[in-house]
């Protein structure tokens, strides 16, 4: 069973304009194994999977998939339906479930004929139950998906794929939204399923998980497969070197005495649309020379906290002080001027205006400054020259400062935002998921810059769902759960994980 | 099987070529109804051409027709750049015309150098007010401006008819629903003797140049573009999104109002309820054809005006309905929309395109 080939990607290539997204990538997958697909952002993982699923048409190359008898047959490319019929299932990072239907309806949805008068629910349900028993993917089948936890929703997604007789399962960053405990449960389930003959392609950024749970690791860099290694022979250093092409230095951090408070929240309440989008009388202090990390599973009030500190939401109660001065007017402009620099969570949506130039995006937060405008007119030459300096200083690579910002890769876009924020020498930096979707190199750069700001005397409020990142950067960790903040007096992963799940250790 | 993929950037050849090509295709497609009507194509297109470029008079007639289209095209282009869908330029045009008639027909008797600027300011202000109201409803309550501006057009038109039957009615007008004539010194002077083309054209061209400079080089234009392209990021960056939308609305409405002023005080000399044959709506086509660029609006307005004037004279000469002009204008909008799509996306058939773009 060990050497039975179930999927073979042969020399797949794809270009978008001048960008080579995949260059002759070949990957084999065997029955019952977990293959990790690792790579920096923009390395081509998503493009590769989109070709496998028929969303993109490769420029060249082919795919072969084993049928139920184990015979390899060519997969018709460019047809999502063909991939489904060949037994390939995918669980996307963003779930594709209907919240107003029950879990079982979501699982059956789309796999039944539109015209059958009576639904054969009994048999279908037995089949789902059977899968649950074998895999351990427990989910309340008759509950509306809207009421399920994120972990349960993910299990429903996986069940949906297995119900369609998937023999190959692709998981796109499955642990991004899970607590460490939920992630461990997921890996237990994957173990049970692979023993049952399922093959799994596991896309992840988190080296720790990849090392712990996969059998084999394939690394993509700049659209090429640069290495493949059995997990037993790998360690973090080897993989990191493969991913970025060089050794990455662990971010060195000096001990530092925290100074005066730069941000104080006192009994702040925010009533959001849902309980998960609210803050319940939270208090928090961030001091100069200090990075405070907010750890938590997404959807526990991080958005409300970030919007508050950005000036996009006004509190319904409590007091916020910046540099000791009480904030009375909550709008982005006021808080920017008060010295809060923001690295927004969704850089495409909130961080840059994609259709405007890199140079314009670099000055968008300080249009009133004298070096940007004179009598209401833009000093284009000065803006351009300044942007070139900044791009060089922050290593923003791309088609130049006059090109549209949307053409930048994720990492370079984030460097643009870093340049913009740091240039204003903010008192407080709100870094919301600052490394999400970034490659290792760019992520290290972000960490380095945040530590640099801390050394300069700024306070940093780091909101991240990546506990490893919080552990690596923060001087102090505060756990956010259900709109409440709990100071974590420990750096123990297990204990913090329990707090993230709402259990007081 | 058709495959559609976004391009990473739009090459300049397509950016400028697509509108020109769209216009030409629309013009060429007019051959179909012409053939169906039994016209001689060479003669028809010939008459259309000489109808515009055949004499000084016909050329200036085209410029006269282009004048309100430049104003309404600019009104649409600036608003659309801020993703503010002002469909109400027609109504704002009439508000501007109403204001011009209200103060220009004898309410104030002042010398021309006072009265003309007053009329212009009043007309622009009235148009601005006409767009500020729906923009306020949008920023304050989220009312869809497409609906509000469109419906306001009809309300304004009925209001206009009421005024023309009431306070503004010309006592010497033999009962016709029209205003008294604008005082002589309140009229925009003619540019050339015996031609109808007037100073409104110069104003429109100046407005286009100013709009181009403001949009590309001023902080205001920067804010407007940022809000239009990504309001969430603009808000995040501390740009006053509501204020920017309001200011875009006011400028857009003012420009549409000036279209009305220029028709009343530059061309007709009095106000009637059929002052505009849909200049407000045609302005949207002009703006789209121009790719929302102010200077492009001038070129697009000249093209559309040529089609109207040329088709008019062709229809008189060979007896084909002048509705043909509307057809060409509509088809050029459709062509430019399709063309814009082709410019932004790469479209392949059957097997995928090999290699790069």
String of DSSP letters for A15-75 = EETTEEEEEEEEEEEETT-EEEEEE-TTSSHHHHHHHHTTSS--SEEEEEEE-TTS-EEEP
The per-residue DSSP string of A148-196 comes to: S-HHHHHHHHHHHHHHTT-SEEEEESTTTTS-HHHHHHHHHHHHHHHHT
> Hunting for tokens 């148009």 — which residue is that?
B127
pLDDT of residue B356: 35
Return the half-sphere exposure (C-beta side, CA atoms, 13 A cut-off) of residue B128: 13
pLDDT at B3 over 70: no
Torsion over CA: A390, A393, A394, A400 (sign): positive
Alpha-carbon A4 to chain mean position: 33
pLDDT at A504 over 70: no
pLDDT of residue A461: 97
Query: Who contacts A139 (Cβ-Cβ below 8 Å, separation ≥6)?
Result: A103, A132, A148, A152, A155, A156, A159
pLDDT at A503 over 90: no
Domain spans of chain B, in order of start: 68-279
Instruction: Choose the weakest-confidence range: A249-253, A271-275, B334-338.
Output: A249-253
From CA B91, how far away is CA B259, in angstroms rounded?
11
Q: What is the mean pLDDT of residues A288-297?
A: 92
Residues of B in contact with A355 (CB under 8 A): 225, 229-230
Out of B222, B236, B352, the one facing A360 most closely (by C-beta) is B222
CB atoms A18 and B357 under 8 Å:
yes
Who wins on pLDDT, A41 or A240? A240
Band (pLDDT 50/70/90 cuts) for residue A204 is confident
Out of A342, A354, A365, the one facing B230 most closely (by C-beta) is A354
Residues B30-72 pLDDT 10s: 888 888 888 888 998 899 899 999 999 999 999 999 999 999 9
Residues of A in contact with B356 (CB under 8 A): 15, 17-18
Q: How far does the CA of residue B348 sit from the closest CA of chain A (Å)?
A: 11
pLDDT at A364 over 90: yes
Residues of B in contact with A373 (CB under 8 A): 219
| Prediction ipTM score | 0.85
Residues linked to residue A65 through DSSP beta bridges, in sequence order: A7, A73
Q: What is the mean pLDDT of residues A396-410?
A: 86
pLDDT of residue A19: 67
Residue A408 backbone phi and psi in degrees, to 5 = -75, 150
From CA A143, how far away is CA A153, in angstroms rounded?
11
pLDDT at A117 over 60: no
From CA A285, how far away is CA A266, in angstroms rounded?
9
Number of residues that make up chain B: 357
Nearest-CA neighbor of A182 among A505, A421, A500?
A500
Mean pLDDT, rounded, of chain A: 86
Continuous H helices in A220-289? 236-244
CB B207 within 8 A of CB B251: no
Supply the Cα-derived Rg of chain A in whole angstroms: 24
Residues linked to residue B178 through DSSP beta bridges, in sequence order: B272
Is residue B157 within a helix (H) or strand (E), and if so which, with residue range?
A: helix B145-165
pLDDT at A78 over 60: yes
CATH numbers and ranges of domains, chain A: 5-244 (3.40.50.300), 261-350+426-500 (3.40.50.300), 353-407 (no CATH)
Nearest-CA neighbor of A478 among A288, A290, A317?
A290
Nearest-CA neighbor of B277 among B23, B51, B69, B30?
B69
Q: What is the mean pLDDT of residues B131-143?
A: 95
Out of B220, B236, B352, the one facing A332 most closely (by C-beta) is B236
For A18, nearest residue in chain B (alpha carbons): B356
Which stretches does DSSP call E strand in A256-326?
261-270, 279-287, 290-295, 317-322, 325-326
What percentage of chain A has pLDDT greater than the value 70?
A: 94
CB atoms B352 and A332 under 8 Å:
no
Three-class SS of residue B62? helix
From CA B141, how far away is CA A112, in angstroms rounded?
43
CB A50 within 8 A of CB A233: no
CB atoms B236 and A57 under 8 Å:
no
pLDDT at B350 over 70: no
pLDDT of residue A236: 77
Return the half-sphere exposure (C-beta side, CA atoms, 13 A cut-off) of residue B326: 8
């Amino acid at each position: 069973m060990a050497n039975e080939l179930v999927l073979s990607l042969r020399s797949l290539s794809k270009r978008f304009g001048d960008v080579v997204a995949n260059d002759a990538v070949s990957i084999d997958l065997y029955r019952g194994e977990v293959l990790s697909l690792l790579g920096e952002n923009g390395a081509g993982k998503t493009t590769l999977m989109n070709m496998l699923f028929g969303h993109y048409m490769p420029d060249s190359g082919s795919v072969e998939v084993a049928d139920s008898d184990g015979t390899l047959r060519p997969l018709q490319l460019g047809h999502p339906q063909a991939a489904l019929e060949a037994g390939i299932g995918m669980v996307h990072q963003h779930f594709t479930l209907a919240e107003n239907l029950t879990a079982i309806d979501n699982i059956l949805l789309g796999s039944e004929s539109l015209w059958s008068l009576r639904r054969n629910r009994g048999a279908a349900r037995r089949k789902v139950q059977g899968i649950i028993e074998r895999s351990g993917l427990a989910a309340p089948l008759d509950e509306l998906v809207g009421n399920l936890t994120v972990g349960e929703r993910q299990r429903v997604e996986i069940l949906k794929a297995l119900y369609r007789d998937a023999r190959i399962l692709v998981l796109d960053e499955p642990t991004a939204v899970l607590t460490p405990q939920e992630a461990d449960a997921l890996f237990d389930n994957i173990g049970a399923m692979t023993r049952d003959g399922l093959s799994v392609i596991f896309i992840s950024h988190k080296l720790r998980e990849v090392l712990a749970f996969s059998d084999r690791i394939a690394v993509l860099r700049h659209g090429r497969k640069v290495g493949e290694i059995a997990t037993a022979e790998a360690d973090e250093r080897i993989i990191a070197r493969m991913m970025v092409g060089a050794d990455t230095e662990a971010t060195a951090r000096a001990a530092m005495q925290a100074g005066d408070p730069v941000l104080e929240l006192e009994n702040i309440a925010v009533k959001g649309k849902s309980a998960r989008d609210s803050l319940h009388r939270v208090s928090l202090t961030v001091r100069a020379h200090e990075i405070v990390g907010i750890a938590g599973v997404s959807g526990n009030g991080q958005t409300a906290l970030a919007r508050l500190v950005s000036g996009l939401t006004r509190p319904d109660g409590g007091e916020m002080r910046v540099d000791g001065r009480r904030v009375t007017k909550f709008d982005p402009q006021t808080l920017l001027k008060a010295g809060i620099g923001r690295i927004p969570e969704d850089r495409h949506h909130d961080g840059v205006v994609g259709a405007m130039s890199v140079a314009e995006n670099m000055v968008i937060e300080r249009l009133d400054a004298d070096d940007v405008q004179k009598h209401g007119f833009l000093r284009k030459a000065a803006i351009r020259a300044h942007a070139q300096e900044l791009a060089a200083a922050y290593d923003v690579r791309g088609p130049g400062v006059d090109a549209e910002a949307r053409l930048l890769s994720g990492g370079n876009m984030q460097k643009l935002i870093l340049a913009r924020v740091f240039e204003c020498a903010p008192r407080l930096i709100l870094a919301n998921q600052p490394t999400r979707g970034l490659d290792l190199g760019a992520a290290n750069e972000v960490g380095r810059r945040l530590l640099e700001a801390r050394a300069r005397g700024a306070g940093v409020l780091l909101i991240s769902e990546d506990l490893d990142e919080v552990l690596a950067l923060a001087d102090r960790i505060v756990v956010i759960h259900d709109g409440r903040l709990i100071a974590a007096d420990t750096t123990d992963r297990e204990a913090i994980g329990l707090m993230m799940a709402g259990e007081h250790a | 099987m058709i495959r559609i993929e976004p391009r990473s950037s739009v090459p300049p050849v397509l950016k400028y070529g697509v509108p020109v090509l769209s216009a030409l295709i629309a013009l060429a497609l007019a051959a179909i109804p012409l053939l169906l009507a039994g016209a001689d194509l060479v003669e028809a297109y010939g008459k259309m051409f000489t109808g515009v470029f055949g004499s000084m008079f016909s050329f200036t007639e085209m410029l006269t027709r282009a004048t309100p289209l430049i104003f309404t095209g600019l009104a649409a282009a600036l608003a659309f750049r801020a993703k503010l869908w002002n469909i109400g330029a027609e109504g704002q045009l009439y508000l501007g015309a109403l204001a011009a008639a209200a103060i220009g027909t004898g309410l104030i008797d002042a010398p021309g150098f006072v009265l003309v600027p007053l009329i212009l300011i009043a007309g622009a202000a009235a148009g601005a007010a006409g767009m500020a109201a729906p923009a306020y409803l949008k920023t304050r309550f989220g009312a869809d401006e497409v609906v509000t501006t469109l419906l306001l057009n009809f309300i304004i038109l009925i209001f206009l008819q009421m005024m023309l039957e009431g306070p503004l009615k010309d006592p010497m007008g033999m009962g016709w629903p029209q205003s008294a004539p604008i005082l002589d010194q309140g009229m925009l002077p003619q540019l050339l003797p015996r031609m109808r083309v007037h100073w409104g054209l110069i104003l429109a061209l100046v407005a286009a140049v100013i709009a181009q400079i403001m949009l590309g080089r001023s902080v205001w234009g920067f804010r407007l573009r940022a809000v239009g392209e990504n309001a969430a990021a603009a808000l995040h960056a501390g740009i006053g999104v509501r204020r920017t939308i309001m200011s875009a609305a006011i400028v857009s409405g003012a420009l549409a109002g000036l279209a009305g002023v220029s028709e009343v005080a530059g061309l007709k000399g009095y106000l009637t309820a059929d002052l505009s044959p849909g200049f407000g709506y045609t302005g949207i086509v002009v703006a789209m054809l121009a790719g929302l660029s102010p200077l492009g609006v001038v070129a697009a307005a000249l093209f559309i005006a040529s089609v109207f004037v040329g088709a008019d004279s062709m229809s008189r000469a060979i007896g084909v309905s002048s509705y043909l002009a509307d057809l060409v204008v509509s088809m050029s909008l459709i062509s430019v929309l399709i063309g814009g799509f082709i410019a932004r996306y790469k479209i392949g058939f059957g097997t995928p395109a090999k290699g790069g773009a």
